[in-house]
């Protein structure tokens, strides 16, 4: 019987061969000379993803709105020119008085030419002032037949005393629009971080899918070798024919696993193409990944509240979505303060100083000469203008709206802070447990490899069984898959921590490139002793 066992041991050469790569399986998938790196995938996302392009347009819209609000303080230039001709019938007594003066007319005609111009500027204090000019020429058949040219030059000032006074009120729309534009830029940075997170997750899932397919192909190859070896033993009458069912069932299961892994690889490739902003057709051309999973950093990751707090502070200083919420809260506060002044009555001080000129004649130079001929003055004007709606519903409604908007912004910013803190804690926990899981998964692979070698030794000594060998080999394959899952989870946890702490991309400027290290290491932070 011992001799039969030795013969059987010789026929089990395939079983006794060590697993390829010692746990680091070599792919039987056809390789290509070109590989896609995670930095290349991230760059594609930055350049082509439609959501990023749409958010960039939103930034442009916000800046255009701010430009519109700034236009309220542009210098306004106004010029008008009017020509009029009027004919007024005269009454009998009027005609008689004109006849006595030697003028025989039945109606009075008047040609009036008026040119006005002004420059005015509204300052952010609410004061508005600027020069104004009015020039008129009157010609007619009575009194001004030779033409009378008049001109008036003035400098007008309007100073608000109640509503519309001060930068906090007048410049509020402009300042709020500036805050909204900054918030829109933060939104762009947050969208960039979210999309890069999605790309990194898809990339690591793609790497994991490739690794799992390699494991499945190697497992199927071993199962095929087992079938060939058992068939030889059955032909040599060293094993009963019933043993063939076990190894063939094992082969069928491994083939099914390999087919499932192929589908998972196709799904992962399409998912990466979508994250990169590519079309489905372009997704078919994505090559195999170039980067391997990141190695575990030696930097300690905290698992206590005292250690987590610095990471939360880091996130609150860098997270673009939290900074955007704070900007919107500031914008709402600006408009709320402005609205509190809007319920006041309008009371303005009006002042004007200038002079008037006169020149007779129909020539063009007579018209222009009225600016400095026979000038008299100065003319002075001082007045008050007061107005207020009876019910004041518009202003009070605007105040109620602005106050509610501000309170809403405060709640949203507070909720965002709460979510950021939770995301940081969860991401740190993911990295912390990912390190531990990865260590255990590596140990499991090492032990199962040793156990498989032990089962082979038992077969050499005729103390083992085919069932035990297949069972241990199956468990080793499962351990290899678990190791890939642990590596994938750790890689994803790293980039999730980067995103949670706001250190994946800068929040205050457009992102056109990214550092490769952000996908392979946690954020640097000096932890408390």
Contact 209, 265 (CB under 8 A): yes
How far apart CA 381 and CA 362 sit, in angstroms, is: 31
Contacts (Cβ under 8 Å, ≥6 apart) of 15: 225, 226, 229, 456, 459, 469
Whole-angstrom CA distances from 49 to 199, 471, 515 are 11, 47, 19
Pair of tokens at residue 83: 């020509």
Pairing verdict, β 107-122 and 76-89: antiparallel
Q: Does one domain contain both 142 and 230?
A: no
Give domain status of residue 25, yes or no: no
Give the single-character DSSP code of 505. Answer: S
Q: Which of 483, 417, 471 is nearest to 444 (CA)?
A: 483
Q: What confidence score (pLDDT) does residue 8 get?
A: 41
Do 261 and 376 belong together in one domain? no
Q: Kindly report the CATH number assigned to the domain that includes residue 53.
A: 1.20.1600.10
Alpha-carbon distance 110 to 128, whole Å? 36
Rg (the chain; Cα; Å): 43
- At 261 the pLDDT is 95
Does the residue 18 lie in any domain? Answer: no
**Alpha-carbon span 239 to 243, nearest angstrom:** 7
- 221: helix, coil or strand? helix
Q: Is 101 helix (H, G, I), strand (E, B) or coil?
A: coil
Q: Is residue 526 part of a domain?
A: no
Phi-psi region of 287 (alpha: psi -120 to 50; beta: other; left: phi over 0): beta
User: Which domain, by its residues, includes 365?
Assistant: 76-122+127-163+346-387
**Cα separation of 308 and 342, whole Å?**
46
95 plus 49 within the same structural domain: no
Q: Is 118 inside any structural domain? A: yes
User: Could you give the 3-state DSSP secondary structure of residue 475?
Assistant: helix
Question: Which of 424, 412, 402, 423 lies closest to 327, judged by CA?
Answer: 412
CA distance 226 to 215: 16
Number of domains into which the chain is organized = 2
What's the confidence (pLDDT) of residue 126? 93
- Please give, one letter per residue, the 3-state secondary structure of 262-314: HHHHHHHHHHHHHHCCCCHHHHCCCCCECCCCCCCCCCCCCCCHHHHHHHHHH
Residue 53 CB burial class (10 angstroms; 0-12, 13-18, ≥19): exposed
For the chain (529 residues), the mean pLDDT of every run of 10, in chain order, is 38 44 40 81 94 94 94 94 90 78 79 93 93 92 80 94 91 94 95 96 97 95 89 85 89 95 94 92 89 81 77 94 96 94 92 92 84 84 92 92 96 96 94 92 94 82 80 93 96 95 90 90 67
Do 321 and 431 have their domain in common? yes
Task: Give the closest residue to 304 by CA, choosing from 436, 432, 493.
Answer: 432
> Is residue 383 domain-shared with residue 500, that is, in the same domain?
no
Strand 346-360 to 148-160 pairing? antiparallel
Other CB atoms within a 10 A radius of the CB of residue 473 amount to 23
Can you tell me whether residue 116 is helix, strand or coil?
Answer: strand
- In 3D space, the residue among 67, 153, 152, 160 whose CA is nearest the CA of residue 122 turns out to be 160
Please choose, from the candidates 208, 223, 210, 205, the residue with its C-alpha nearest in 3D space to the C-alpha of residue 476. Answer: 223
Q: In terms of residues, how long is the chain?
A: 529
- Do residue 383 and residue 287 come from a single domain? no
- C-alpha torsion sign, points 284, 290, 291, 292: positive
413 with 486, same domain: the answer is: yes
The reply to whether 139 falls in a domain is: yes
Tell whether 70 is covered by a domain: no
Q: Are 373 and 358 in contact (CB under 8 A)?
A: yes
In the sheet with 148-160, reading across from the earlier edge strand, the strands are 76-89, 107-122, 128-140, 148-160, 346-360, 376-387
Q: Please tell me the predicted confidence (pLDDT) of residue 15.
A: 43
Phi-psi region of 229 (alpha: psi -120 to 50; beta: other; left: phi over 0): alpha
168 belongs to a structural domain: no
At a CB cut-off of 8 Å and minimum separation 6, what does 257 contact? 216, 219, 220
Q: Do 356 and 301 fall within a single domain?
A: no
- 200 with 316, same domain: the answer is yes
Domain match, 361 and 498 both: no
pLDDT at 528: 41
Shared-domain flag, residues 57 and 181: yes
Q: Is residue 45 part of a domain?
A: yes
Whole-angstrom distance, CA of residue 180 vs CA of residue 165 = 23
Say if residue 291 is in the same domain as residue 422. yes
Question: What is the Cα 353 distance to its own chain's centre?
Answer: 53
Residue 108 is predicted with a pLDDT of 82
């Amino acid at each position: 019987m011992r001799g039969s066992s030795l013969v059987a041991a010789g026929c089990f050469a395939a079983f006794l061969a060590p697993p390829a790569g010692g746990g680091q399986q070599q792919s039987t998938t056809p390789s290509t000379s070109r590989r896609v790196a995670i930095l290349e995938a991230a760059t594609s996302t930055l350049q082509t993803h439609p959501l990023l392009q749409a958010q960039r347009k939103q930034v442009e819209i916000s800046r255009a709105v701010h430009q519109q609000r700034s236009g309220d303080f542009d210098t306004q230039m106004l010029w008008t020119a009017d020509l009029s001709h009027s004919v007024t019938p005269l009454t009998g007594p009027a005609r008689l008085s004109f006849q006595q003066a030697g003028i025989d007319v039945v109606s009075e005609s008047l040609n009036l030419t008026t040119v006005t111009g002004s420059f005015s500027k509204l300052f952010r204090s609410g004061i508005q002032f600027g020069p104004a000019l009015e020039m008129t020429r009157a010609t007619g058949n009575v009194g001004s037949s030779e033409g009378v040219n008049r001109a008036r030059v003035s400098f007008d000032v309007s100073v608000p005393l109640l509503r519309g006074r001060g930068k906090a009120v007048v410049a509020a729309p402009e300042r709020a629009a500036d805050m909204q534009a900054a918030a829109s830029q933060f939104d762009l940075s947050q969208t960039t971080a979210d999309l890069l997170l999605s790309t990194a997750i898809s990339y690591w899932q793609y790497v994991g899918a490739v690794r799992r397919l390699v494991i499945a192909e190697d497992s199927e190859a071993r199962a095929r070798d087992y079938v060939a070896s058992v068939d030889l033993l059955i032909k040599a009458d060293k094993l009963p024919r019933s043993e063939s069912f076990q190894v063939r069932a094992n082969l069928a299961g491994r083939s099914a696993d390999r087919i499932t892994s192929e589908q998972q690889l196709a799904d992962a490739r399409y998912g990466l193409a979508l994250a990169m902003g590519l079309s489905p057709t372009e997704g078919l051309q994505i090559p195999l990944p170039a980067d391997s999973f990141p190695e575990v950093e030696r930097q300690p990751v905290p698992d206590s509240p005292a250690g987590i707090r610095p990471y939360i502070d880091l996130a609150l200083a860098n997270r673009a979505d939290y900074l955007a919420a704070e900007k919107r809260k500031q914008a709402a506060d600006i408009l709320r303060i402005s609205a509190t002044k809007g319920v006041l009555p309008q009371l303005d001080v009006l002042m004007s100083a200038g002079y008037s000129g006169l020149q007779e004649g129909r020539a063009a130079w007579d018209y222009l000469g009225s600016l400095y001929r026979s000038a008299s003055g100065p003319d002075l004007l001082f007045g008050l203008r007061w107005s207020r709606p009876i019910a004041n519903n518009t202003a009070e409604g605007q105040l109620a709206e602005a106050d509610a908007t501000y309170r809403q912004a405060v709640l949203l910013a507070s909720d965002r802070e709460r979510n950021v803190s939770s995301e940081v804690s969860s991401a740190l926990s993911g990295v912390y447990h990912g390190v531990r899981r990865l260590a255990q998964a590596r140990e499991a692979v090492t032990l199962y490899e040793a156990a498989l070698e032990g089962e082979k030794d038992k077969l050499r000594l005729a103390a083992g069984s085919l069932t035990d060998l297949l069972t241990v080999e199956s468990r080793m394959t499962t351990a290899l898959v678990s190791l890939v899952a642990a590596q994938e989870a750790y890689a994803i946890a790293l980039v999730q921590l980067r995103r949670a702490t706001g250190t994946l991309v800068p929040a205050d400027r457009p992102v056109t490139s990214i550092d490769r290290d952000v996908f392979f290491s946690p954020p640097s932070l000096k932890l408390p002793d």
